[in-house]
Amino acid sequence: MAEVVWPDWAAMAPAIILTLTALMLFLVDSLNPRKTSGAVLSGIATVGSLVALGITGWFLAAGTGEEAITLYDGALVVDTMSLFFALIFTSVTALVTVASFDYLRGSPNQGEYYILVVLAATGMTLMASANSLAVVFVSLELASLPSYALVAILKQNRGSVEAGLKYFLIGALSSAIFAYGISLVYGVTGSLKLADVAASLNGGFEPLAGVLGVGVLMVLGGFAFKTATVPFHFWAPEAYEGAPAPISAFLSSASKAAGFAVAFRVFVTGFPIEAVAGTIDWVLAFQILAVVTMTLGNFAAATQDKVKRMLAYSSIGHAGYALIGLAALYGQPGNNEWVMGGAMLHLLVYGFMNTGAFLFIALVEHWGVGRTFEDYNGLATKAPIASVAMTAFMFSLAGLPPFAGFMSKYVLFMGAIGAGFWWLAAVGAVNSALSLFYYSRVVKAIWIEDPATEFEFQDRPVGLYVAIVAAAIMTVALLPAFGPVTDEAFAAAASLFA
């Protein structure tokens, strides 16, 4: 039998499937927008996400990205890194769409909701494959514009609308800064494709060094907004608290990973440090951002009295950990793959444990329990399975063994030490120890404290339970599967330095 030869564009199958899923949702909902079942919409979105996830996993297992596939004259690239991040996006999207079935039951605009979620996931998948600054900007906006609407989709909720407006205004300012930074880089190099930008910089740019430095800083600021990095983090607590809890999970996990996927590729491929270090040392800039972000995020989280807002600030702290992937580059020779691979590995693990934590909050909101730590008192007596899952999420986020969060932080911090940046690992370890304080507050409230009032749960939402348990299983199952997963993360990082 003759071997089937697939065209190069088939490598973009995850993004294509997500696009077709969004179109199918639009068609189904347009037929009868007021009577279309939420189960049908959630099912279509979930199946589409799972199919994209399955194909992404198949591509990774088959080694599809080992030799980079370029499309549209190099504007898009499919390699191990882009597929690794696509795995994160599709996994989180599937969990969110399953959980949203119960969370949105009886709510209007469910068709728009699922369409926007899938379109945002499509934009994130394209961000991971973007190999041109123009494609980076377009895909970032494709991911961002649906996100603004999703935060404000609870139109009768003042907090949701206000959070969406703030998110949109800050996002618009960030996009303008990012676009202007791209224009300055283009003015200096005469190109938008990352490889051509790097070639131009290696050829010399001394007369326009100042212009390039400002442009790179502006591009860095655009990524800092997308990843909720200090000082561009102000939108995150407001948006996460006001948004529906599944959307908070989606933004804090998938959207953050997308920002890092683009930042990794743009700075490593487009702005080689050996060419720009004399003008702007972006490794030093990321070192400062990493320390400030993880420290401020963890200290702010420790002062919160609402669980959802605590997780919002916690997500800022985890952005600081992931920044080590850029902050510890170019230390000891041969260590770059380990450092960046550790950051990618942590983003994968974080995608499951953080999404699961926010979905537990969605479950609590569905029951109308409350928002503070005290409102969670004694919750384990009525929801033991979900409480066990939440305990796993909290301890994994804190980096305690035997959960996957411990191993991902261990690999990341050891990579920083191996690169010669032991102080970055030390700051990360101290912040992880601090995070145990506020994560354990949730566990204490759920399991130890006596309930202030009697809980009255009218139902057991199957969709939310399935998503929470699935996230918990992955948080635990990633530990025995850590060897192959780590190998894929290192291979994804190596594809950038090839």
Q: Per the structure block, which two tokens stand in for 220?
A: 């860095």
- pLDDT, tens digit, 9 for 90 and up, residues 95-121: 999 999 888 887 778 889 999 999 999
Identify the residue with better confidence: 187 or 156.
Answer: 187
Is 498 within a domain? yes
Q: Which residues constitute the domain of residue 372?
A: 281-498
- pLDDT, tens digit, 9 for 90 and up, residues 31-70: 877 766 778 898 999 999 999 999 999 998 888 878 888 8
Residue with tokens 């969605």: 362
Identify the residue with better confidence: 329 or 292.
Answer: 292
Count of Cβ atoms closer than 10 Å to residue 71 Cβ: 16
**Residue closest to 128 by CA, chosen among 160, 80, 92, 61:** 80
Angle at CA of residue 312, ends 309 and 313, nearest 5°: 95
The mean pLDDT value for 405-427 works out to: 91
Residue with tokens 């035997």: 402
Domain count of the chain? 1
Is residue 5 very low, low, confident or very high in pLDDT (cuts 50, 70, 90)?
A: low
DSSP 206: G
For residues 359 and 389, the answer to whether their CB atoms sit within 8 Å is no
Residue 4's pLDDT is 56
Percent of the chain at pLDDT exceeding 70: 95
DSSP-assigned states of every residue in 316-381: HHHHHHHHHHHHTTTSSTT-HHHHHHHHHHHHHHHHHHHHHHHHHHHHHHHHT--SBTGGGTTGGG
In angstroms, the CA 325 to CA 493 distance is 10
DSSP 11: G
Half-sphere exposure of 200 (CA within 13 A, CB side): 19
Residue 481's pLDDT is 67
The mean pLDDT value for 381-405 works out to: 89
For residues 400 and 331, the answer to whether their CB atoms sit within 8 Å is no
Q: Per the structure block, which two tokens stand in for 87?
A: 């795995």
Cis before 402 (ω within 30): yes
What are the φ and ψ backbone dihedral angles of 232, each rounded to 5 degrees?
-105, 30
Residue 236's pLDDT is 84
**Residue closest to 421 by CA, chosen among 323, 278, 324:** 324
Residue 398: alpha-carbon gap to chain centroid: 18
Is 418 within a domain? yes
Is residue 2 very low, low, confident or very high in pLDDT (cuts 50, 70, 90)?
A: very low
pLDDT for residue 200 is more than 90: no
Is 479 within a domain? yes
Cα dihedral sign, 432-436-437-438 = positive
Count of Cβ atoms closer than 10 Å to residue 388 Cβ: 16
- pLDDT, tens digit, 9 for 90 and up, residues 176-186: 999 999 999 99
pLDDT for residue 485 is more than 90: no
For residues 162 and 237, the answer to whether their CB atoms sit within 8 Å is no
The mean pLDDT value for 314-320 works out to: 92
pTM of the model: 0.93
Residue 48's pLDDT is 95
In residues, how long is the chain? 498
Is residue 1 very low, low, confident or very high in pLDDT (cuts 50, 70, 90)?
A: very low
Cis before 231 (ω within 30): yes
The mean pLDDT value for 158-175 works out to: 87
pLDDT for residue 447 is more than 80: yes
Residue 264's pLDDT is 93
Is 361 within a domain? yes
For residues 103 and 362, the answer to whether their CB atoms sit within 8 Å is yes
Burial-class residue 455 by CB neighbours within 10 Å (0-12, 13-18, 19+): middle
In angstroms, the CA 126 to CA 498 distance is 21
Residue 204's pLDDT is 65
What are the φ and ψ backbone dihedral angles of 371, each rounded to 5 degrees?
-115, -20
Indicate the average pLDDT of the chain. Answer: 88
For residues 117 and 144, the answer to whether their CB atoms sit within 8 Å is no
Residue 476's pLDDT is 86
Is 84 within a domain? no
For residues 308 and 271, the answer to whether their CB atoms sit within 8 Å is no
Is 1 within a domain? no
Burial-class residue 273 by CB neighbours within 10 Å (0-12, 13-18, 19+): middle
Residue 84's pLDDT is 94
**Residue closest to 60 by CA, chosen among 79, 39, 33:** 79
pLDDT for residue 234 is more than 70: yes
Is 78 within a domain? no
Residue 78, H or E segment: strand 76-78
Among 8-12, 128-132, 295-299, the least confident range: 8-12
**Residue closest to 121 by CA, chosen among 153, 96, 84, 152:** 96
Percent of the chain at pLDDT exceeding 90: 48
For residues 406-438, one letter each, b for 16 or more C-beta atoms within 10 angstroms of the residue's C-beta and e for the rest, the string is bbbbbbbbebbbbbebeebbebbeebbebbbeb
Identify the residue with better confidence: 331 or 189.
Answer: 189
Cα dihedral sign, 128-129-132-135 = negative
For residues 128 and 261, the answer to whether their CB atoms sit within 8 Å is yes
Is 405 within a domain? yes
User: Which pairing describes strands 76-78 and 69-71: parallel, antiparallel, or unpaired?
Assistant: antiparallel
